[in-house]
Structure 1
Amino acid sequence: MRKTETTRLTITAIFVAILLLQTLVPNIGYIRLLPALPTITTIPLTVALYSCLMGSKAGVGFGIFWGLTRLFVAYTQPGDMVSLILFQNPIISLVPSIIAGWLPGLIVKLMKGEKISFLVAGVTASLTNTFLVIGLSSLLFMNHAASLMKYLGNTSNSQSLFLVLVAALGMNGIVEASFTGLLTPVIGLPLEKVFRKYKL
């Protein structure tokens, strides 16, 4: 029992190190294609893999850690004004990250570890993050949307903030979901076999 706990702790430490590397090294976890636009995020892949392998409860903890790193980056090294404005809000940083960490493990459990469950879990983690960021941002900036709209390249007051955010972040979300959905089973299924073999 103690050996299993130590092994799981070691695995968690490895995933934490990977997430920190993605967060702190430019263009690994947050890939910037154009200077003014929000980054494409590869971190949902790491979060989805961890949750699929370690379970939804552990995934919640890992999601909290991801949310805290988002807050840290927003305050110390924001790459664009949109990220600075959005992710300095703890709700926008933490809530999508936590739920994106919880759902993949739950999906794999409900689908009883079927191969397709890893693909579904990866896509779900990424889209959950994107849509919750858009939804919470729309809600929290509803009454003072002008500054955010300006940095999103929209000077018209007639368009809703939600639609502008979907246009600005939606394409990133599709790319992220495709990337995460494809790679979660490719990486996760072989690891899951090892986990089963050693009863982790």
Structure 2
Amino acid sequence: MRREETKRLTITAVFAAILIIQTLVPNIGYIRIIPTLPAVTTVTLTVAVYSILMGPKAGFFFGLFWGITRLIVAYAQPTDLVSLMLFQNPVIAIVPRVFAGYLPGIIAKYFYKTKYSKLGYVLAGAVAALTNTILVIVLTSLFFMHDPASLVHHLGNYTPSSPLILILTTALGFNGVLEAIFTAIITPILVRPLKIIMKRH
């Protein structure tokens, strides 16, 4: 039992170090494609893989850790005004990432020991990215619904009369789709050999 706990702690430490590097080093965990919009997030891949390997409960806390680091970076290293306005809000910074860490573990657990396990990894990766994007859009809409103009004029050529959630879906949806495709493709490629290594040790 103690050996198993040590192994889990070691794996968690390695993934936490990777996440910190992705968060702090420019263009590794957050790749900026459109200068005025939030960066495309590749950290979801790390979170999805960890959640699949370690389970939904561990994924929940790893997502919480991701959210806290994102909140800290929003204050310490703000990059663009939209990210600053969004992710200095603790709810927007943390809640989507907690669910993005929790759900991949649930999906992988559901498909575990079935002939569709590889499909489960693909879905888990896609869901991690989409959950993060969708919840950021929904929570931002709720927090800015009384003053959408303060955010809209930083998002590009949008009219303040348009529904905020539609504007956010248009502005951030492209990033979300890219993240989902990337994470869905790479997650099973990483998870399968890592599971083999974990079983051997």
TM-score where L is the length of structure 1: 0.96
SS at match of 1:184: helix
The answer to whether the aligner puts 1:49 opposite 2:49 as a matched pair is: yes
8 Å contact kept, 2:55–2:105? yes
The answer to whether the aligner puts 1:176 opposite 2:179 as a matched pair is: yes
Q: How many Å apart are 1:155 and its aligned residue? A: 5.1
**In structure 1, what is the equivalent of residue 33 of structure 2?**
33
8 Å contact kept, 1:52–1:105? yes
SS at match of 1:151: coil
The answer to whether the aligner puts 1:185 opposite 2:185 as a matched pair is: no
Q: Give CA deviations for 1:1-50 in whole Å, capped at 9, x if unaligned.
A: 11111111010000000000000000000111232122110000000000
**Code of the aligned partner of 1:188:** V
Deviating more after overlay: 150-159 vs 47-56: 150-159
The answer to whether the aligner puts 1:137 opposite 2:143 as a matched pair is: no
Long gaps (5+) in structure 1? none
Q: How many Å apart are 1:56 and its aligned residue? A: 0.2
In structure 1, distance between residues paired with 2:191 and 2:35: 33
Long gaps (5+) in structure 2? none
**In structure 2, what is the equivalent of residue 163 of structure 1?**
166
After TM superposition, the structure 1 = structure 2 runs for residues 2-41 of structure 1, keeping only pairs within 5 Å, are: 2-41=2-41
In structure 1, distance between residues paired with 2:160 and 2:22: 36
**In structure 2, what is the equivalent of residue 119 of structure 1?**
122
Count of aligned pairs between the two proteins: 198
**In structure 2, what is the equivalent of residue 88 of structure 1?**
88
8 Å contact kept, 1:154–1:164? no
Q: Where has structure 1 moved over 4 Å in runs of 4 or more?
A: none
SS at match of 2:153: helix
After TM superposition, the structure 1 = structure 2 runs for residues 94-105 of structure 1, keeping only pairs within 5 Å, are: 94-105=94-105
8 Å contact kept, 1:82–1:152? yes
8 Å contact kept, 2:37–2:83? no
In structure 2, distance between residues paired with 1:167 and 1:36: 14
SS at match of 2:156: coil
Q: How many Å apart are 1:194 and its aligned residue? A: 2.3
Q: How many Å apart are 1:100 and its aligned residue? A: 0.4
Q: How many Å apart are 1:143 and its aligned residue? A: 0.3
**In structure 2, what is the equivalent of residue 62 of structure 1?**
62
8 Å contact kept, 1:126–1:177? yes
8 Å contact kept, 2:71–2:89? yes
Cα RMSD over matched residues? 1.0
**In structure 2, what is the equivalent of residue 78 of structure 1?**
78
**Code of the aligned partner of 1:160:** P
